[in-house]
């Protein structure tokens, strides 16, 4: 008789979801599903608001990655105003996004995922968290907190607030970087670099010792990857164009514009999740599965363009066994390489005279009735698409969120992990934690993806083929 395991809610991610694991008559995993069970409908209640308010409004979708929405919305506004952002405005936007990537990746690695690596998959769940890490390795925990604090403080220096800073606006930014702020960033950069180097070394040691199995079964499968690249193929997080690459390293599509996203991205729906299932249209659904985020960005780029990050990228690809890393477990590794890239990029920007220029914003009225903006959020490529009337009031909004674009991959990942670890009706807590950890590798932000509010608990159910629940676990 078949059975189903349900994990509800999933822990140490942002939002509310559950995982169902379906067993066949022999007690083997037949399928697994990652259900997103929250909904708020942010796109709908933006209708009727002035376009100039959208950056500040959409930043409030999430408290973890508000900068991502702030920048994508501001870039959409640039299109509607038909303006060119002053060099200082663009470089300061870039600096804020680099700080956002740094703080979010630090949160994901040190606070949400490292307890699994350092305390053990089967350790007591009451202690398998950042507080347990602080007790076991206070220096490492403190370093991780300080690294995240660095990114958040750079955001605060630029936008006056660490969270929901309504600073980037259509046409540029509201205020320049102060000399005091510039000096603070310069002073803190060496410590941020040192912590990043420490984390990369630590994770590579773990890969060499005890994480080999996780690399092989935590979402290792062929797919497409999508991300922004610069015109010369260099790693990009703010501008450039979109590129798709396959698991063999072959470019599938290049030079794509966000304006044409509806030509190459489709959005499917399933009746068991509020989260949509984006796919690459030319391959159809579900064959057009693709991944976004730090793993995808390192896969699609030719190089990063900074010395230390490029050296780490070479080793990253060597450890992955080729040009493209196909294991979703390498998302953790990719985040650390990206933090190094961000630190180096901030080091370069902070010495640029433009970043203290007072010319940070172009002024204009409504010149276009539609615009699409794109930016790389920590979790992947983020699209904002607005249609406005002649007065600039929003008529329609579509947001394509990074977490949603990884939805097909996340479902494939939990199925692969469950099939490897779950055998029979009784499932130890550590096995369920591994299934959860497959989702944590993507660092999903479900408040963004469903535009809802809340934190992420976990619910797992083990279900027979006739629908009978034979095992159920909850975590709050």
Residues paired with 5 in a beta bridge: 462, 471
Q: How far apart are CA 20 and CA 3, in angstroms?
A: 10
Binding residues for Ni(2+): 65, 445
Binding residues: 43, 62, 65, 399, 445, 448, 451
DSSP 10: P
Instruction: Quote the distance between the C-alpha of residue 294 and its chain's center.
Output: 7
- Please identify which residue in the block is written with the tokens 């279900």: 463
Q: Which tokens sit at 27?
A: 């007690």
Give me the mean pLDDT over the 142-159 stretch: 96
Residues paired with 34 in a beta bridge: 19
Q: Which tokens sit at 29?
A: 């995993």
Binding residues for Mg(2+): 43, 62, 399, 451
pLDDT greater than 80 at residue 89:
yes
Is 405:399 a contact under the CB 8 Å cutoff? Answer: no
180 falls in which pLDDT band (50, 70, 90)? very high
144-174 CB burial, b ≥16 within 10 A, e <16: bbbbbbbbbbbbbbbbeebebbbbbbbbbbb
Is 5:424 a contact under the CB 8 Å cutoff? Answer: no
Q: Which tokens sit at 176?
A: 């320049």
Give me the mean pLDDT over the 217-239 stretch: 97
Q: Which tokens sit at 264?
A: 């190459």
Domain spans of the chain, in order of start: 42-441
37 falls in which pLDDT band (50, 70, 90)? low
Helix (H, G, I), strand (E, B) or coil at 411: helix
- pLDDT on residue 198: 96
pTM: 0.92
Binding residues for Fe cation: 65, 448
- pLDDT on residue 417: 92
- Cα of first residue to Cα of last residue in the chain, in angstroms, is 30
- pLDDT on residue 456: 41
Mean pLDDT, all residues of the chain: 89
Is 44:36 a contact under the CB 8 Å cutoff? Answer: no
Helix (H, G, I), strand (E, B) or coil at 175: coil
- Please identify which residue in the block is written with the tokens 């060099």: 87
């Amino acid at each position: 008789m078949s059975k189903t395991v349900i994990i509800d809610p999933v822990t140490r991610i942002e939002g509310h979801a559950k995982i169902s694991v379906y067993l066949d008559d022999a007690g083997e995993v037949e399928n697994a599903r990652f259900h997103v069970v929250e909904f708020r409908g942010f796109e709908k209640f933006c209708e009727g608001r002035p376009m100039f308010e959208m950056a500040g409004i959409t930043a409030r979708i999430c408290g973890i990655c508000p900068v991502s929405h702030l920048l994508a919305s501001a870039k959409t506004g640039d299109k509607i105003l038909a303006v060119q952002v002053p060099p200082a405005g663009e470089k300061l936007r870039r600096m804020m996004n680099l700080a956002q990537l740094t703080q979010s990746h630090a949160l994901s690695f040190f606070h949400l995922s490292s307890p699994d690596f350092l305390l053990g998959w089967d350790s007591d769940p009451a202690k398998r968290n950042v507080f347990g890490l602080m007790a076991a390795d206070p220096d490492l925990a403190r370093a991780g907190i300080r690294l995240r604090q660095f990114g958040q403080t750079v955001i605060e220096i630029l936008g006056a607030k660490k969270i929901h800073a309504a600073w980037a606006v259509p046409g540029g930014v509201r205020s320049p970087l102060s000399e005091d702020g510039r000096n603070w960033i310069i002073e803190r950069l060496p410590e941020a670099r040192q912590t990043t180097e420490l984390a990369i070394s630590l994770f590579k040691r773990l890969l060499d010792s005890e994480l080999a199995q996780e690399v092989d079964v935590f979402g290792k499968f062929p797919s497409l990857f999508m991300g922004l690249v610069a015109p010369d193929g260099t790693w990009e997080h703010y501008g450039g164009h979109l590129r798709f690459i396959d698991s063999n390293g072959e470019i599938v599509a290049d030079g794509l514009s966000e304006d044409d996203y509806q030509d190459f991205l489709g959005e499917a729906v399933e009746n068991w999740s509020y989260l949509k299932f984006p796919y690459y249209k030319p391959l159809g659904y579900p064959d057009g599965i693709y991944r976004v985020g730090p793993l995808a960005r390192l896969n699609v780029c030719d190089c990063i363009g900074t010395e230390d990050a490029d050296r780490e990228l070479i080793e990253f690809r060597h450890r992955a066994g080729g040009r493209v890393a196909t294991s979703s477990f390498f998302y953790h590794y990719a985040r650390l390489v990206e933090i190094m890239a961000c630190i180096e990029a901030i080091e370069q920007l902070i010495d640029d005279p433009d970043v203290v220029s007072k010319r940070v914003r172009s002024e204009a009225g409504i010149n276009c009735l539609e615009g699409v903006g794109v930016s790389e959020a920590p979790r992947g490529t983020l699209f904002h698409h607005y249609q406005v009337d002649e007065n600039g009031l929003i008529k329609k909004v579509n947001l394509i969120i990074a977490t949603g674009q990884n939805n097909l991959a996340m479902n494939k990942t939990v199925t692969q992990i469950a099939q490897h670890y779950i055998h029979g009706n009784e499932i130890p807590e550590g096995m369920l934690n591994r299934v959860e950890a497959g989702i944590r590798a993507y660092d999903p932000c479900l408040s963004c993806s469903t535009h809802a509010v809340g934190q992420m608990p976990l619910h797992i159910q083990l279900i027979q083929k006739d629908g009978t629940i034979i095992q159920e676990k909850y975590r709050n």
